Structure 1
Amino acid sequence: MLANMDNPGIVADKESEIILPPPTPLNPLPAVSVALRLDNKEQLLTLLQSDPSAGLASSSFRQLLVFGTESLRTLLLRQVLSDPHARTFQGKKKNWDSHLFFPLPASITIVGTQILNQEHGGDETEGNVDVITYFLSPADLSQMHLVAKYIRNLKKSFRIHHRLIFLPQPSAIIHKMMKDLGLTSAPNVSIHRLQMDIYPLETDVLSIEYNEAFRECAVESTPSSLISTVARSLLKLQDVCGKIPRIQAYGPLGEEVARKLFSLTVDEYLADRDRPEEQSGQVISGGDVTALIIIDRKVDLVTPMISPLTYEGLLDDVVGIDCGFITLDVSTINPDENDNTDALKQDQVKEKKKELVSLGVNGSDTLYAEVRDQHVEKFGSFLQNQAKALRESHANFTSKDKKKDLAEIHQFVKNIPVFTQNLRSLTNHIHLAELVKHTSEETTFRERWQMERSILEGDTCYDMLDDLVACQFPPYRFFRLLCLQSLCAGGIKSSRYDSLRRDVIQTYGYEYLFILGNLEKAGLLRRRDGLWIDTTSPFNNLRKSLILINAEVDTVEPDDVSYVSSGYAPISVRLIQTAMKGWNGRDEILREIPGRIVDVEQHSPPQDLASALKTPPNKTLGALAEVEVADGVKGKKPVLIVTYVGGVTFTELAALRFLSKRPSFPYHIVCLTTKVMNGCSFLQSLS
């Protein structure tokens, strides 16, 4: 059953039907995002409508929603329950409890929402709530202690049912903790799972929202849960858009995800007793997706450490984009134009509590979709030109020199809501652009970018790193530079590493000793013994083989993906470009990539990965796309899904969109990732 959950969708005569738009470069798989949103919303509403104490649907109970993190609340309430792509670009107050603006059926009574690290409402909560529903991540063990504390703090907790919801499912260690805390045996506690595998943040960006993916694999060495989650998500995608004929995987995790995907496909096939008889050895064909590339984040650890220079990347770096929303002070987008010179009033303004607004930033805002991937040197003038064009359009109609007939007046009145919407969007983005441009023009930002470029080109910047610690540079921004130096130079010289390590602990605190240890385990930091610089480090070799540095790129009218960082091309995106031509004769690149490259076809009936590897494909991805174009609709590109296991940055998303729009690139790209992150959030997830 489909409903109007996506802005481009047109509802047909019957409410249960929908007419999907044709594929576009930014929405190559219209049915996928709509189907996923419908499925996720249906699951969430079904859960909220069911009374856990009765086990049946009921409208007689009141429930409080408690979320493990703010990000989880934003994801479920603003992405799943209230689709931001179907709403206008208007900043509403971030007031979850008093204004539950998300749509709810009359059968659901929500008294409010809370974050798990906040205090409960005590006796007041007890008297107004019948069910407390906790939404929890299975990877955050500290949440279980907080849940147990919440339950103990409620004096009359036996009257309240506590419903624990894990997304997507609780792990074995979570079960053990709940048993030790007495939660599994409590009569008023029930445990559930919400199997929502994929969240469509954009029509071309799908996220699993697995925040701890890289830490589990690289630091804790427990990748099995992540591998199963990603493989199940890919299997779910194939249920919607058909089996994917060609699969490539890069890095150890990429290979393991491919192996698990093939295994699940075989298990699903064998479990289907009503399957038709099929000839052995046939290659899958005819689906909506032609190829799949799975990339282990370890293949490219350099890109997350680089400062982004696109509008969306800088907005995330400065303000922070969480599940398609930004939260900021209302004065940023609605500045007070009155010049208040009174000293007393200025003091009152300073003491006044900040009023926060939450804005959705997504592709349904046509202006944002156009400006999001532009370079910092372009988007300022672009927004100014948009403002000028909008002002001239309005002035032309309101001019008294030209008489208007009734049809023109009617059309103008009809377009007033659209004009107001465009004006509000443009005003917001002009203020946001001023904010990020101000940051990018600061001396510290420019010095940091110059230092990054020097490191990328092979220089060592130990003295500059010492200076940054001495001036108490923000710790995670310092760690980004430290990790970048280690990754590009094949490690930090032993003597300098010891001194930097000592300075970090003395400056930032002893707790950062554990973070340094995790960075070492993850391969982001390495001590290098010896007197000479390692000129044959993997990055140095890749820099030459993949042409990662393009200092002559035009950032205003770019012709290469390296524009996203003023001359540096993300390794993962260069690998995708190279894969179009094939890997024959590219041994110098293959040697520097961790793990091996897996390139296989899916057959019918399905095979396991070991069997599929015995018959390697005879066409490159580029040649495969040419065949698809020749057999399909003229001018329509086939679809390539790029999966990042461990997270993707906005820098890489901008580069992928750039490729997808290029006539010379043979595919439209849809990105599936475990999380959209930046360098700081990536390193914080390891702590």
Structure 2
Amino acid sequence: MVTPMCSQLTYEGLLDEFLHINNGAVELDPSIMGAQQEGKKIKVPLNSSDKLFKEIRDLNFEVVAQVLRQKATSMKQDYTEMTTTNQTVSELKDFVKKLNSLPEMTRHINLAQHLSTFTSKQSFLSRLDMEQTLIEAQSYDICFDYIEESIHKQEPLVSVLRLLILFSITNSGLPKRNFDHLRRELLHSYGFEHIAMLNNLEKAGLLKKQENKSNWLTIKRTLQLVVEDTDTANPNDIAYVFSGYAPLSIRLVQQAVRSGWRPMEEILKLLPGPHSETKRGGFSSSPSFDTLHGASAAVDRVADGRRSLVLVVFIGGVTFAEISALRFLSAQETMAYDLIIGTTKIVSGNTLIETYMEKLG
């Protein structure tokens, strides 16, 4: 549960964080999309039939503005050439094709501009820094003070809870004195009607008192979940989707398709929940995860020359950032398999926490 509590930093992930993607679309005020009329919200589709969205959906948001700027500049140069030089029919046809993409360009420039009103705020940038500090799990007092201050400032409750849950998970719970203090401060600041929600989070183990020493540092170090100096423009690791944090779930998939499950046996024991391996019978020609080829081996292909398939299923939900990380893995030349993603739900930290909220009365 560490990953969904972090802020997604891919374009599609941020759209979901701030605008909530529902059935492949977001609902917005017309003014955000440059329309003059007011009143009823408009639906903006977000799917791969939009070629530009398909190209930029998995990019870190820092890079999206650069891509849009380059495309707009290129279109402007083409227009200048059209008006100042004689063009062949073929060149005219190519230019008209580019003009057909203008609505997509306008749509995503408007969306990116709207997202930047959130991502440029100091509160958002401070939050990202704190998330990184929480994942590092080496500055307990700094994290505690930041969360306490956020409660006193009455920052949005869901945002505070995401940090608090991240704090609890990476420390295997909070010492009883600190747990009771923050719980009391939350109820005083946001109201005692949230007591049922806090109880639900505690029952789920997301917010708890510390009973054992945390093993997060071991997990983080062994799986290399924190990657320094991540190049978001030309990424070479899945950590680009969170600007330095490699989502745990996808790192496990990456290790599994590279080396199988057995080398990770000790790490899997440190993670919550049971784990098991089931081998299929009657398909001797199909590799199990024990025999999956690594990056150095020849690409495994089925009879028609395509890669073999690996189905990755998320029970309970997956974030858009994790999906982007899987797409990144699948696109690597050294990847021996095509990855297919199945999930029961698309989630974010906000939607997960909202499932624990109960209305009293």
The alignment's TM-score, normalised by the length of structure 1, stands at 0.48
- Structure 1 position 585, deviation (Å): 3.9
- Structure 1 position 667, deviation (Å): 1.5
1:377 aligned to which of 62, 65, 74: 62
Tell me how far apart the structure 1 counterparts of residues 346 and 69 of structure 2 sit (CA, whole Å): 29
- Structure 1 position 421, deviation (Å): 3.8
1:599 and 1:617 in contact (8 A); partners too: no
Q: For residues 240-287 of structure 1, what are the alpha-carbon distances to aligned partners after superposition, in whole Å with 9 as ceiling and x for unaligned?
A: xxxxxxxxxxxxxxxxxxxxxxxxxxxxxxxxxxxxxxxxxxxxxxxx
- Structure 1 position 640, deviation (Å): 1.5
Tell me how far apart the structure 1 counterparts of residues 343 and 237 of structure 2 sit (CA, whole Å): 23
2:72 aligned to which of 384, 387, 396: 387
1:363 and 1:369 in contact (8 A); partners too: yes
2:266 is aligned with 1:588: yes
Partner of 1:157: none
Q: For residues 600-654 of structure 1, what are the alpha-carbon distances to aligned partners after superposition, in whole Å with 9 as ceiling and x for unaligned?
A: 232349xxxxxxxxxx9584323699687355344x3222211100000011011
Partner of 1:598: 276
- Structure 1 position 596, deviation (Å): 3.8
2:234 is aligned with 1:549: no
Partner of 1:147: none
Tell me how far apart the structure 1 counterparts of residues 6 and 245 of structure 2 sit (CA, whole Å): 9
- Structure 1 position 662, deviation (Å): 0.8
1:579 and 1:620 in contact (8 A); partners too: no
2:85 aligned to which of 384, 389, 401: 401
Equivalent positions of 1:25-424 (< 5 A) are 301-334=1-34, 354-396=39-81, 398-405=82-89, 411=93, 416=96, 418-424=97-103
Tell me how far apart the structure 2 counterparts of residues 483 and 618 of structure 1 sit (CA, whole Å): 33
The alignment's TM-score, normalised by the length of structure 2, stands at 0.90
**Pair 372,585 (structure 1): closer, same or farther in 2 beyond 3 Å:** closer
2:320 aligned to which of 650, 673, 676: 650
Report SS of the residue matched to 1:399.
helix
2:197 aligned to which of 498, 509, 515: 515
**Pair 627,561 (structure 1): closer, same or farther in 2 beyond 3 Å:** closer
Tell me how far apart the structure 1 counterparts of residues 202 and 60 of structure 2 sit (CA, whole Å): 33
**Pair 491,422 (structure 1): closer, same or farther in 2 beyond 3 Å:** same
Partner of 1:629: 300
Q: For residues 552-578 of structure 1, what are the alpha-carbon distances to aligned partners after superposition, in whole Å with 9 as ceiling and x for unaligned?
A: 221110000001111100000010111
2:116 is aligned with 1:431: no
Partner of 2:255: 578
Q: For residues 398-445 of structure 1, what are the alpha-carbon distances to aligned partners after superposition, in whole Å with 9 as ceiling and x for unaligned?
A: 33431545x665x36xx74x5444101101101111111221111000
Report SS of the residue matched to 2:311.
strand
1:553 and 1:567 in contact (8 A); partners too: yes
1:553 and 1:562 in contact (8 A); partners too: yes
1:310 and 1:374 in contact (8 A); partners too: yes
1:551 and 1:566 in contact (8 A); partners too: no
**Pair 444,408 (structure 1): closer, same or farther in 2 beyond 3 Å:** closer
2:261 and 2:289 in contact (8 A); partners too: no
Report SS of the residue matched to 1:622.
coil
1:625 and 1:667 in contact (8 A); partners too: no
User: For residue 73 of structure 2, what is the amino acid of its counterpart?
Assistant: K
Structure 1 gap segments, 5+ residues each: 1-300, 337-351, 606-615
1:330 and 1:357 in contact (8 A); partners too: yes
**Pair 677,592 (structure 1): closer, same or farther in 2 beyond 3 Å:** same
**Pair 325,566 (structure 1): closer, same or farther in 2 beyond 3 Å:** same
Tell me how far apart the structure 1 counterparts of residues 144 and 84 of structure 2 sit (CA, whole Å): 67
**Pair 408,578 (structure 1): closer, same or farther in 2 beyond 3 Å:** closer
2:6 and 2:131 in contact (8 A); partners too: yes
2:207 is aligned with 1:525: yes
- Structure 1 position 305, deviation (Å): 0.2
Q: For residues 135-181 of structure 1, what are the alpha-carbon distances to aligned partners after superposition, in whole Å with 9 as ceiling and x for unaligned?
A: xxxxxxxxxxxxxxxxxxxxxxxxxxxxxxxxxxxxxxxxxxxxxxx
Report SS of the residue matched to 1:332.
helix
Report SS of the residue matched to 2:276.
strand
